[in-house]
Amino acid sequence: MVLYFIYINIVCRDGDESNSNQTPLCNEGFDFFETLKISKTLAELNLSYAGLGTKGLCSNLANALKSNSSIKIIDLQHNRIGSFVVDMECLAEALKVNNSLRAINLEFNEIGSHLESAVYIKDMLKVNRCLTELNLDGNMISSDSMKEIALGLRDNSCLQKLRLWHNNIRSDGAEYLKKALRHNRSLKLLDLKSNNIDFRGTSSLCSVLKVNTACSLSIDIRGNPIGLSGRQNLYENIDYFTARRCILFS
């Protein structure tokens, strides 16, 4: 039998079933990661809610990803990886050398809780040449963290989708993204919904489409307080919008 997808939900209890303190990937997880190193057929792996950060298992996963050459998609949402800087460092180092992974979901991992976590993502983006989709939704990413990530995005040539819904990059973060996107030619979708971006940020993002005319980029800023001034700015720049180059707003 050939495996192409695994959803891990190994549950360990602390002895008292009434307590039901469920923690995926306890001791059993170590054997799994050793197997993962040599897997040649597994293409998709779901480790969401697996307690990777809280149980110190992220380094085991990172070591496996350094050797694995089959996984294309991995879901790591809700693992608190960003809360433990050493875990984020291990994962980022693995993604620097992994040549098979195309999409990684890191939503709700508290990456914005430590600036160092954003620095590790920056360093990874600068050298990774295979990742096409990165999901950082709901990570408490501030404008300072966005500055670091944007520096990595500037030098990246393969990422096509970057999701940043429900963070707090604000208009300063949008300005950092503007500077990065003047150089980036690969990004096709930038999701900035619900990031407290006001009309100043709208102006920065509009200038991206003006300057980077060679790109095909859709920017989603729905759910941001752009106000009447921001909407007016968008209407004034509507001539720069096409089906593949646009800013979505509400």
Name the residue type at position 183.
H
pLDDT in 10s for each residue of the chain, 250 residues? 344 445 554 333 333 322 223 444 445 445 789 989 999 999 999 999 999 987 789 999 999 999 999 999 999 999 999 999 999 999 999 999 999 999 999 999 999 999 999 999 999 999 999 999 999 999 999 999 999 999 999 999 999 999 999 999 999 999 999 999 999 999 999 999 999 999 999 999 998 888 776 678 999 999 999 999 999 988 888 877 776 778 888 6
How many helices (H) and strands (E) in the chain?
8, 11
Q: Domains in the chain, start-ordered, CATH in brackets?
A: 5-248 (3.80.10.10)
How high is the mean pLDDT of the chain?
87
The helix/strand/coil state of 139 is coil
Return d(Cα 100, Cα 44) in angstroms, integer: 11
Task: Tell me how far apart the alpha carbons of residues 106 and 67 are, in angstroms, rounded to a whole number.
Answer: 20
**83-96 tens-digit pLDDT:** 999 999 999 999 99
C-alpha distances in angstroms, 66 versus 36, 51, 209?
10, 20, 37
